[in-house]
Chains A and B, each alone.
Chain A
Amino acid sequence: MLLEVTNLRTSFFLDNGELKAVDDISFSIEEKQTLAIVGESGCGKTVAAMSILNLVSLPGRIISGRVNFEGANLLELNNDKLCDIRGRKIGMVFQEPASSLNPVFTIGAQLRETLVRHTQLNKHEISARAIKLLGDMDFKEPENWVNAYPHQLSGGMKQRAAIALAMCTQPKLLIADEPTTALDVTVQAEILDLLKFLKEEHEMAMLLISHDLGVVAELADRVTVMYAGKQFENASLEHILTVAKHPYTQGLLKSMLHLDTINNDFLEVIPGSVPDLLDLPKGCSFHPRCSLKESICQEHVPKISLHKNNTLCACHLVTNQY
């Protein structure tokens, strides 16, 4: 197993209470495999990704859990070792390409800095490598673009530059946090194709984060569904798309089918919105929006339990025979 996340909990300690952004999440990724975390915005997906890299900063704190990467628990490594893994073995692409690139350095400078940090190449080789990386990301005339500043690039190009930065040292795992959400619809497909190509070309594992099951269906092998900090389901993509029983997953599926026809009106199939994480409903946190809820749902939090085919599910209605 390349990455094994077990019982991860991350909270933000705010003035008005403890915000449990990630509340007991477990999943694992094999080499070359792609796992997707899906869930509406505000469900804790980004915090989960940051926790894997041990990059949560105050007022947030990782409370418990393990993040085993190639056998070592990243949450217990010292800072130097951690910095050697970040960017070298695990690359990360952020949601907003416009804000994930430093505006006052050229693309080339940022690429070279990362290459200097993680490789033994000489100056000349590093400059050449920076240009080649941009070329690999489908930049036409990459030798010109290395000298460009982020603001001179279009949204799609920025994201491709950000992917180049994450791919500097051919990481074993790429974390892509909503890599297409901030982009124009036309560019989204390009970026998805690029990610698909890179993952196959470099035999790379991927942690894809998205609120859009459509995107997930293109890339993922396995899917974890998150809602309000909790894990609702963890199953193979096939299982999720065909036989998933969890009412929230079904809602996401329906909204995926409706997404293209109704002008992007997101998740109108599931009424209401994600609850305030500081003021979660009693019982199953999804119950105010769930059409199938029963009285037990309002009283008891459903436990996540193992089902057939190595599937995890947390719902009172989904019992063992499933």
Chain B
Amino acid sequence: MLLGIASLVFFIIHIAPGDPLDMLINQYQRNVPSPETIEAFRIKYGLDQPIHIQYFKWLQNCLAGDLGESFRYHRPVTTLITERIPFTIQLTFLALLFDALFGILLGIISAVKQYTLTDKIISVGSLIIYSIPGFWLALMLILIFSVNLGWLPLSQTRSLDYDLLSGVDQFKDRLMHLILPVFVLGIASAASTARYLRSRLLEVLNEEFILAARARGIKEKAVIFSHALKNALIPIITIYGMSLPFLLGGSVLIESIFSWPGMGSLAIEAVQNRDYPLILATTMMGAILVVLGNLLADIMYAIVDPRVSYDT
């Protein structure tokens, strides 16, 4: 399946307008390389060959585990990706954590306080946040907190004087840089988690076993936090698995807005430079992460939900 996706991407980028060589030439605006250099480049990367030959060559290398060399960086794309991927994982993981913490908290509050003002504020608020485009929110927050108030850094993962800072300050510095991207990336999914959990909790609270627990004298706190919450949270795990693609998709945008050196910004650069091997590799990585996320969600689901057993 991964190869299928990559193959599709392979043909799309070759059909799409733009030539990697034009991009290369643009880079050297001041001293344009000679036609011979260009021709040498074309031959080196096999771009002189017909597309089907290129395809089969690429496929062959791919299966042998060789994803090729970036046109732009002249380094193996696998190296580039392994350099960048920790940043994306850091961002996505923290965004998921943010989502879990706030989404679940707000979901519980608004379900327990159903129909009160608090509930309405949370519901309307999460609907608004859910519908705000991520890039717009990112730009607004940058404008407010970085440009006007100057509380938070504009972009990047750390300050320019990072190396001069003490250990604690270095940690703080990284944290400050994480706040906005994590917030922007996590808030929309936190909003959808809150909305989902609210409706699911209200559904569960109407179930007969909740009534039965109350009839046994179980205190309301335990009824909500143990009986109802466990039932309501189980499907959330699947939702998480499914929200991973959206988070990753969102991170492409957020990473380039915040100049975050992750996979997302790498992918954007790759597309901008018509860096074919890199485009293919980042696409495949994205697909792998999505599949992994779903797999993880399935496994978690089987672990936490007693009704799912491995042998059926």
Interface residues of A (CB under 8 A from B): 50, 53, 55, 79, 83-88, 91-92, 94, 96, 99-106, 113-114, 117-118, 149, 151, 162, 165-166, 168
Inter-subunit contact A117/B219 (CB<8 Å) = yes
Closest Cβ of chain A: how far from B220's Cβ, in Å? Answer: 8
CB nearest neighbor in B for A53: B215
- Name the residue on B nearest A95 (C-beta): B208
Complex interface: chain B residues within 8 A of A50 (CB): 211
Q: Closest approach, in angstroms, between the C-beta of A200 and any C-beta of chain B?
A: 23
| Given A99-B209, A102-B209, A86-B307 contact (CB < 8 Å) | no
Q: Out of B214, B226, B305, which one reaches A86, CB within 8 Å? A: B214
Cα A255 to Cα B212 in complex, Å, equals 31
Q: Are A101 and B212 in contact (CB under 8 A)?
A: yes
Nearest chain A residue, comparing its CB with the CB of B304: A104
A94 CA / B230 CA spacing, docked (Å): 22
Is there contact, CB below 8 Å, between B213 and A102? yes
Q: B199 interface residue, CB < 8 Å from A?
A: no
**Given A104-B231, A104-B234, A117-B216, 15 extra CB contacts under 8 A:** A55-B214, A84-B217, A85-B217, A87-B216, A88-B217, A92-B212, A99-B209, A100-B209, A100-B212, A101-B212, A102-B212, A114-B216, A117-B217, A149-B306, A149-B307
Please list the 4 inter-chain residue pairs (A to B) with the smallest Cβ-Cβ separation, ordered nearest first: A87-B217, A87-B216, A86-B217, A99-B208
**Which residues on B are within 8 Å of A, measured CB to CB?**
207-209, 211-220, 222, 226-227, 230-231, 234, 305-307
Q: Which residues of A contact B307 (CB under 8 A)?
A: 103-104, 149, 151
Q: How far is the CA of A104 from the CA of B218 in the complex (A)?
A: 16
Please measure, in the bound complex, the distance between the C-alpha atom of A118 and the C-alpha atom of B234, giving whole angstroms.
Answer: 29
Which residues from A are CB-within-8-Å of B218? 83, 87, 113-114, 117
**Which residues from chain B contact A96 at a C-beta distance below 8 Å?**
208
Pick the contact of B208 from A83, A100, A151 — CB < 8 Å? Answer: A100
Report the nearest A residue to B227, measured CB to CB: A102
The distance in angstroms between the C-alpha atoms of A101 and B216, with both chains bound, is 12
Specify which chain A residues have a CB less than 8 angstroms from the CB of B222 in the assembled complex.
Answer: 113
Residues in B whose Cβ lies below 8 Å from that of A100: 208-209, 211-212
Tell me the complex Cα distance, A99–B207, Å: 7
Q: Give the chain A neighbours of B209 by CB distance below 8 A.
A: 99-103
**Inter-chain contacts of A103 with B (CB < 8 A):** 209, 231, 306-307
* A54 smallest CB distance to B (angstroms): 10
- A104 contacts B215, CB within 8 Å? no
Q: Measured between C-beta atoms, what is the minimum distance from A67 to chain B in Å?
A: 14
10 pairs from A and B in contact (CB 8 Å cutoff): A55-B214, A87-B215, A92-B212, A94-B208, A94-B211, A103-B209, A114-B217, A114-B218, A117-B218, A168-B216
